[in-house]
Amino acid sequence: MNFDFSEEQKLLQKASRDFLEANCTLARVREIFESDLPYDEALWKGAAEMGWQGAALPESVGGAGFGYLELALVAEEVGRAIAAIPFAPSVYLATEALLLADDAAINARYLPGLASGDCIGTFALAERVGQSGGSNVETALSRGKLTGRKVAVPYGDVADIAVVVAKQQGKVVPVLVELTGAGIKRHAVESFDPAVSQATIEFEAAPAKRLGKLAEGQGLIEDVRDRAAILLAFEQLGSAQRCLDIGIEFARQRYAFGRPIASFQAIKHKLADMFTAVELARSNCYYGAWALSTNSEELPVAACLARISASEAFQFCAEENLQIHGGVGFTWEYDCHLFLRRAMLQGSMLGTARDWKRALIRRLATSSVE
Amino acid sequence: MDFDDTPDEAAFRAEAVSWLEKNAELKKPGEKTAGGLERDDPDTIAAAKAWQARKADAGWACITWPKEYGGRGGTSIQNVIWGQEEGRYAVPPNMFMIGLGMAGPTLMAHATPEQQKRWLPKMIRGEEIWCQLFSEPAAGSDLANLRTSAVRDGDDWIVNGQKIWTSGAHYCDWGIVVTRTDPAVRKHAGLTYFVVDMKSPGVACRPIKQISGGANFNEVFFNDARIPDTQRISEVGNGWAVAITTLMNERSSIGGGGVGGGVGFRDLLDLASSVELDGRPAIEDGAIQEKMADYYVRQKGLQFTSNRALTALSRGETPGPGGSIGKLVAAKMRQEMAALAMELQGEVGGLLDTQLTADEAGWQQAYLWAPGMRIAGGTDEIMRNIIAERVLRLPPEPRIDKEVAFREIPTG
Ligand SMILES: Cc1cc2nc3c(=O)[nH]c(=O)nc-3n(C[C@H](O)[C@H](O)[C@H](O)COP(=O)(O)OP(=O)(O)OC[C@H]3O[C@@H](n4cnc5c(N)ncnc54)[C@H](O)[C@@H]3O)c2cc1C
């Protein structure tokens, strides 16, 4: 049994954390949060210099040639820092979609930019309230033109390209669109987490290209979402762990009734419950990373496990960290709500925990995973 | 067993309705009343004052206050009935809750006749608005840990320190404030209670922005502020007893602060019926049904618990301990319901945009208010301690801070 990251990988994680502690303090996240800036451009560039956007990409397209285990650990650190960068939509979603579709011309054109961070990618699915899967989308691809409207597109106001879930000849397919081209209207809308900008994008016969084969679109989208779910789960894991760490530190130094509040059982049990949730999520995330790195058949199930436990752990830890803070936790000035907002935003991306629970049971019924 | 008014109650209700019909407009269907916390612009304040004065002239301002203080001399259940009926009318928000609900009863119990004459009539008519200066940065759950100091200087007291979470301090005229006048004695023994003129020199307010984005509360700083000794309520060192009187009256005003979002169970039901899960309305999904059913059961349980308390009031008895579960259950449930509503919206749930979201982002707003409800007026943890120790009479936690001099208590 060797169910752990290697020493080298842990060194990479340590370097990532050091970099983010120097370049992405919570004060820095707050600057983006409180400004009109869509994302932390300096950090995005710095991340590129560290090779993060291309961590799992081959050197031939400008990637760092690591692998998914390394990318997962970087994701955990990005989550720990609640960094305000389009890492998830660009790296876990757009880049993965191109890799899976495996179109040589498209990849030659876009992967180098995605790897270097010069090109920001995103992923557009939702069109209205309450849409979790892709089956009922109305945005349509016809004769190389895309028409429709997507909402809640992460970083949709600044992304250069988008992978859009659309219909073509009655089939659901992923479609690649340049967002700076003709037939695109887009505007930022108020996000639950202002550190993550979101946009509405209207496509009016925008030039677009289907990724992959017509009949395989739905499966490709599902595969992309599974892979992205594991990486996003690592972000959520990092954030949940940070909430726990902050909660512990606060509870140790805050006094009431002449004692640290950490000495009250109500608070100790709360922190113990948070720890439990984080550890379960961590183990499930590691399983996800293993599945991703080995391209295991168990990946669809592993994605559910990682995503469900990390989503729930993050939301729980964010809510209860605020509760441990008492009144100050409810103030804008304290950082508790930055995590709370991020938890709810990420919980809503890529299908909610409930969607993944339903998928898990469906998948278990048809797989041989123990 | 029924929910009907007794003949006396019915008569009172009819009288209230007949006055309200002549003096106010019924709300339109779906119209919501903003809590006084959410709206505090000058126009709203002026309208609220005018409405309060009109009620006072007709004897409806303070149902339960004795007649000698300008009240109606009515019963608690009459007060509830009045609230139910007034709530059906489109009237300005009540900005007088802290004065009428907390400061007034405290003054009636502990102030001198001169003090009462000075403050109560203007309080009843809404001419002066009151706020509560109790919580401090290091004194929330442990209120008796407060350290704002008052030092005697001739006929005055000189006050220094900081209060926090003072709702309405920025527009209030008077505040009730607990100070520490003797740090050398036990924490509960060294406190003294005053009334402070919020416009006096040395009193400064700074709004606190909440996570929901609004700023409905304040930090209040005392910097060599002077309070005349004539504004001291009760004896020097008796401040804790007076504060307890105020806190016992706080119950009525908790929850009056508005829960944010203006959405409720029916809205959630509508949402669950309108969105789909796997191609079927979400409301047909077993897991959603279970959650929704749980919320409804809890909500109705609270409502009927409050009906039982009203029955006790109606009989002139003291309500049983059931009331202490209300806020604990309601606040957490609110958080869960809002989270479910956001989840049901899918990716759109992660927006605050009022046009794209369901219910004009009401659930997102509700989710951002819910943490405050779990903390205000006694945190979840403190409410559980109260239920365990005061209601169930379980052995109390050992206390290390009660019998030593205040200045000896560990502060970290
Ligand atoms: C929206 C809002 C409105 C408010 N309005 C007012 C107002 O109008 N006037 C006013 O005076 N105050 C007001 N408050 C202040 C409120 O009463 C306090 O915030 C609350 O009592 C908690 O105190 P604290 O913030 O100091 O937290 P702390 O007391 O420091 O609590 C921190 C954590 O420790 C826990 N804890 C503390 N003691 C114990 C214990 N013995 N056992 C177990 N756990 C414990 C708490 O549950 C919490 O999780 C308001 C607060 C909010 C959020």
As assigned by CATH, the class of the A7-88+105-116 domain is mainly alpha
Q: Which two tokens stand for residue B25?
A: 């407009």
Q: Which of B212, B259, B334, B351 has the highest number of chain A CBs within 10 A, making it the mutation to test binding with A? A: B351
Name the band, by pLDDT with cuts 50, 70 and 90, for residue A228: very high
* Residue B149 Cβ contacting ligand 1 at under 6 Å: no
Cross-chain Cβ contact A257/B399 below 8 Å: yes
Residue B256 pLDDT > 50, yes or no? Answer: no
Residue B324 pLDDT > 80, yes or no? Answer: no
The catalytic site residues of B sit at 250
pLDDT in tens, B58-87: 999 999 999 888 899 998 889 989 999 998
ipTM: 0.96
Give me the pLDDT at residue B149, please. 97
Residues 136-155 of chain A with CB under 8 A from chain B are 136, 151-152
- Report the C-alpha gap between A309 and A343 in whole angstroms: 13
pLDDT in tens, A309-345: 999 999 999 999 999 999 999 999 999 999 999 999 9
Cross-chain Cβ contact B347/A128 below 8 Å: no
Please report which helix (H) or strand (E) contains residue B107, including its range. Answer: helix B104-110
Give me the pLDDT at residue B315, please. 81
CB A66 within 8 A of CB A293: no
Name the band, by pLDDT with cuts 50, 70 and 90, for residue A354: confident
- As to burial, measured by CB atoms within 10 angstroms (0-12 exposed, 13-18 middle, 19+ buried), residue B59 is middle
Domain ranges of chain A: 7-88+105-116, 121-213, 218-366
CB A230 within 8 A of CB A327: no
Residue showing tokens 């926090």: B164
DSSP letter string, A234-257: HHHHHHHHHHHHHHHHHHHH-EET
Which residues 6+ apart lie within 8 Å of A201 measured at CB?
A124, A149, A150, A153, A156, A162, A179, A184, A185, A186
Residue B313 pLDDT > 80, yes or no? Answer: no
pLDDT in tens, B192-224: 999 999 999 999 999 999 999 988 889 999 999
Name the band, by pLDDT with cuts 50, 70 and 90, for residue B257: very low
Please report which helix (H) or strand (E) contains residue B52, including its range. Answer: helix B42-58
Q: Above pLDDT 90, what percent of chain B? A: 75
Which residues 6+ apart lie within 8 Å of A18 measured at CB?
none
Q: Which two tokens stand for residue A222?
A: 């599902």
Give me the pLDDT at residue B255, please. 39
Torsional sign, CA B354, B358, B362, B367: negative
- Least confident interval from A214-228, A277-291, B55-69: B55-69
Is 3.40.50.150 the CATH number for A218-366? no
- C-alpha distances out from residue A94 to A57, A90, A110, A122, Å: 13, 5, 10, 5
- Report the C-alpha gap between B367 and B384 in whole angstroms: 22
DSSP state of A157: T
* Residue A267 Cβ contacting ligand 1 at under 6 Å: yes
Region A121-213: CATH code: 2.40.110.10
CA–centroid distance, residue B18 to ligand 1 (Å): 42
- Least confident interval from A151-165, A258-272, B63-77, B155-169: B63-77
Q: Which of B347, B348, B404, B407 has the highest number of chain A CBs within 10 A, making it the mutation to test binding with A? A: B347
Name the band, by pLDDT with cuts 50, 70 and 90, for residue B316: confident
Give me the pLDDT at residue B310, please. 80
Q: A7-88+105-116 and A121-213: same fold?
A: no
Residue B36 pLDDT > 60, yes or no? Answer: no
Q: Determine how many CB atoms are found less than 10 A away from the CB of residue B18.
A: 10
pLDDT in tens, B134-184: 999 999 999 999 999 999 999 999 999 999 999 889 899 999 999 999 999
**Domains, chain B, with CATH or none:** 7-95 (no CATH), 130-249 (2.40.110.10), 254-391 (1.20.140.10)
CB B325 within 8 A of CB B387: yes
φ, ψ for residue A53, nearest 5 deg: -60, -30
Assign B297 to helix, strand or coil: helix
Q: Point out the ligand 1 atom lying closest to the alpha carbon of residue B132.
A: 9
The strand pair at B174-180 and B130-133 is best described as parallel
Give me the pLDDT at residue B311, please. 84
Q: Closest Cα to atom 52, ligand 1: which residue? A: B376
The mean pLDDT of chain B is 91
Name the band, by pLDDT with cuts 50, 70 and 90, for residue B254: very low
Give me the pLDDT at residue B32, please. 64
Give me the pLDDT at residue A369, please. 76
- As to burial, measured by CB atoms within 10 angstroms (0-12 exposed, 13-18 middle, 19+ buried), residue B1 is exposed
Q: Is A340 on the interface with B (CB under 8 A)?
A: yes
Q: Which two tokens stand for residue A43?
A: 């950090």
Assign B98 to helix, strand or coil: helix
CA–centroid distance, residue B374 to ligand 1 (Å): 9
Residue that wins the pLDDT comparison between B254 and B337 = B337
- Report the C-alpha gap between A159 and B284 in whole angstroms: 38
Task: State pTM to two decimals.
Answer: 0.95
Q: Point out the ligand 1 atom lying closest to the alpha carbon of residue B142.
A: 29
What is the Cα gyration radius of chain B?
23
Give me the pLDDT at residue B314, please. 76
CB contacts < 8 A, A to B, total: 175
Please report which helix (H) or strand (E) contains residue A206, including its range. Answer: strand A198-210
